[in-house]
Structure 1
Amino acid sequence: MDQRQDLDSKASILMLILCIILGLQQVVLKLAATDISPMMQLALRSGLAAILVFPLIRLPEGARLLSKEYLRPGILVALLFTAEFVLVAEALRYTSASHTVMFLYTSPIFTALGLHFKFPSERLSKFQWGGILLAFIGIIVTFVGRDATQSQNLMQVLYGDFLALMAGLFWALTTISLRMSKLGEVHPTHTMFYQLIGAFVVMFPLAYFTGQSEIHWTWLTLSTLAFQTLVVSFFCLLLWFWLLRHYLASRIGVFSFLTPIFGMLFGVWFLDEKIELNFIVGTILVMCGIMVVSIRGWFSNSRAIS
């Protein structure tokens, strides 16, 4: 019998904390970029977090991850996950943290589209297709109507926005691949270990090859790495899995829409980023579209995911 609960005050507070932290992570990456590049931050964060996650892998179940049926999808998921964060790191070089976090969190739209064509149970209704259309209109609005006089490097900003949008697409591809493979049956820490190791193995040498390996060991660098490793990659991971085990996924998922809002607020607060009117309008349309696509899960008595 499913023992997962509906939302209570405890879960609501924990989800709020989680969204605040996740909204802050892109801002922290950008804030420390002068001392350590986002590419190197994400590489080191992934490697250090993998060391912390490894003891949590359950044996002998964990030994099965080296078998062919798990290793192949594990490598695919690791590559998709890595591609997402390479795109995030590159996006932060050209556009703001506010823009990056918003475009990254378009992922649910791409996920819904992919699952629609793969699983009969995930078919989108006409109402949800309307949400998809609304979200894509919002994406278009965020790209058009900008005043070039307000940005010295408008084309670079647009390029960075596009990279962040592609990061959202690869996040969705990672989710879809997990759903379609054997990895969907194992403990989440096993999958996360694949992703973290893959990100480190690819991004660490890539930082050197692209000239982004220089590190100035300041207090900002150390505190950033500690935050990214211990809080974002480890604490948030454990908190999210604990919430999924105790509460209905369709209920706690409602809070995910707060993350890009916090990201934009933190970008303005800590980085003095400017938010254009068209970007605000586009973001509202995108968030409303994602809510429409997800609304069926919120109001149905859905089974919690394992």
Structure 2
Amino acid sequence: MNAPQKEPKLEIDPVKLPDDRKSSLDLQAIILITGCCLIWGYQQIAIQAIADEVPLLMQLTVRSVIASACVWVWMMFKGIRPFQSDRTLMPGVIAGLLFFAEFVLLYSALEHTNTSRAITFLYLAPFIVALVLPIFIPAERLNWMQSIGLLIAFGGLAFAFHDGFSSGATHFLLGDIAVIGAATAWAFTTIVVRTTALGQIQPERTLFFQLFFSSIALIGLCFAYEIPPPETLSINAMASLFLQSVIIAAASYLFWFWLLRHYLASKVSAFSFLTPMFGLLFGFFLAGDPINSSLIAAFISIVLGIYLVNRRQTI
């Protein structure tokens, strides 16, 4: 009598799972994205507020380390194993290194260019996503009206920060190139998440990979530049690092990856143009920075552009 044969174990390739993302954003998604952009708009103020006490590179390192620990604790609570045999390790490493490159290039660029130029060039990222992602996922392709909306949103942002382009660009060239590199790294983080196994797993694991591997690279960079950790921290510094680590890098990024898991990346990314505008609003309310009619017009243009990108298609 022949021994019963074991049935072969079914192995599911996460990359080939059916894509169940929604083609349009619902109210829940809009609220979550807007909330993320609002929080990110305050991030630059929190970073600059303690720059004299904690160097920018050390802030970024502490943020990634604490945030990765928070996400790990959350995963342990939910019973999610971060490392599994599902072809996510290599894309996770790449996503972490891209995240590392994005912020290192951005912070380095600010030493060679002004903030207005940096913000404008950084938000080339949604265009890179819109151009590259449809090569791999046709459903992410924008139609002509959505493409116009993206251009309108970017035009509003560029108009809001046009003062930074009033002087000659020659001495800003190195910084501008670094910011474009940061925008490219940001865009390709989204593309890697969307086109690999990372896009089909729990958002907690996707975020953990990004934070964990970027933390390793950042710690190595701090050792290379001999940047010591701060011996003492003021209340303001601790509050800022808590905000950056727990609220922004852990909580808001988790929501962002959840959105990328359930909605089209090209439509979600368009909302990122709101982030610098919220930063200007925080500057108005907290520092008394002026808000003029030009900024209001720029904000309206961005909202119009986002609407066109996410407008439901009618037959």
Same fold (TM over 0.5): yes
Distance 1:233 1:106, change over 3 A: same
Where is the helix percentage greater, Structure 1 or Structure 2? 1
1:235 aligns with 2:251: yes
- Please tell me whether the aligned partners of residues 137 and 195 of structure 2 are also in contact (alpha carbons under 8 angstroms): no
TM-fit CA distance, 1:62? 2.6
Distance 1:39 1:270, change over 3 A: farther
TM-fit CA distance, 1:260? 1.5
- Please tell me whether the aligned partners of residues 140 and 265 of structure 2 are also in contact (alpha carbons under 8 angstroms): no
State which drifts further: 14-23 or 163-172: 14-23
Residue aligning to 2:192: 177
C-alpha offsets along residues 21-42 of structure 1, whole Å, 9 cap, x if unaligned?
A: 1101122112211111121111
TM-fit CA distance, 1:91? 3.2
Q: Please, what TM-score do these two structures have when normalized by structure 2?
A: 0.71
1:6 aligns with 2:34: no
Residue aligning to 1:33: 51
- Please tell me whether the aligned partners of residues 33 and 271 of structure 2 are also in contact (alpha carbons under 8 angstroms): yes
Residue aligning to 1:78: 96
TM-fit CA distance, 1:129? 4.6
- Please tell me whether the aligned partners of residues 79 and 199 of structure 1 are also in contact (alpha carbons under 8 angstroms): yes
TM-fit CA distance, 1:220? 2.8
Residue aligning to 1:304: none
Query: Matches of 2:139 and 2:31 in 1, distance apart?
Result: 31
Distance 1:257 1:284, change over 3 A: same
TM-fit CA distance, 1:172? 0.7
Query: Matches of 2:265 and 2:154 in 1, distance apart?
Result: 25
What percent of counterpart residues are identical?
Answer: 33
2:81 aligned residue (62, 65, 84)? 62
The DSSP-based 3-state class of the residue aligned with 2:51 is: coil
The DSSP-based 3-state class of the residue aligned with 2:53 is: coil
TM-fit CA distance, 1:159? 4.2
Gaps of 5+ in 2: 1-19
2:237 aligned residue (192, 215, 221)? 221
1:122 aligns with 2:122: no
Query: Matches of 1:210 and 1:223 in 2, distance apart?
Result: 26
Query: Matches of 1:171 and 1:82 in 2, distance apart?
Result: 10
Letter of the 2:70 counterpart: L
- Please tell me whether the aligned partners of residues 98 and 264 of structure 1 are also in contact (alpha carbons under 8 angstroms): no
State which drifts further: 159-168 or 16-25: 159-168
Query: Matches of 2:105 and 2:291 in 1, distance apart?
Result: 22
- Please tell me whether the aligned partners of residues 149 and 309 of structure 2 are also in contact (alpha carbons under 8 angstroms): no
Superposed CA RMSD in Å reads 4.4
Q: Please, what TM-score do these two structures have when normalized by structure 1?
A: 0.72
C-alpha offsets along residues 196-224 of structure 1, whole Å, 9 cap, x if unaligned?
A: 01111111221342354463633332221
State which drifts further: 217-226 or 203-212: 203-212
- Please tell me whether the aligned partners of residues 91 and 100 of structure 1 are also in contact (alpha carbons under 8 angstroms): yes
Distance 1:185 1:205, change over 3 A: same
- Please tell me whether the aligned partners of residues 125 and 187 of structure 2 are also in contact (alpha carbons under 8 angstroms): yes
TM-fit CA distance, 1:167? 1.8
Query: Matches of 2:245 and 2:32 in 1, distance apart?
Result: 19
Letter of the 1:202 counterpart: A
Report how many aligned residue pairs link the two structures.
Answer: 290
Residue aligning to 1:298: 311
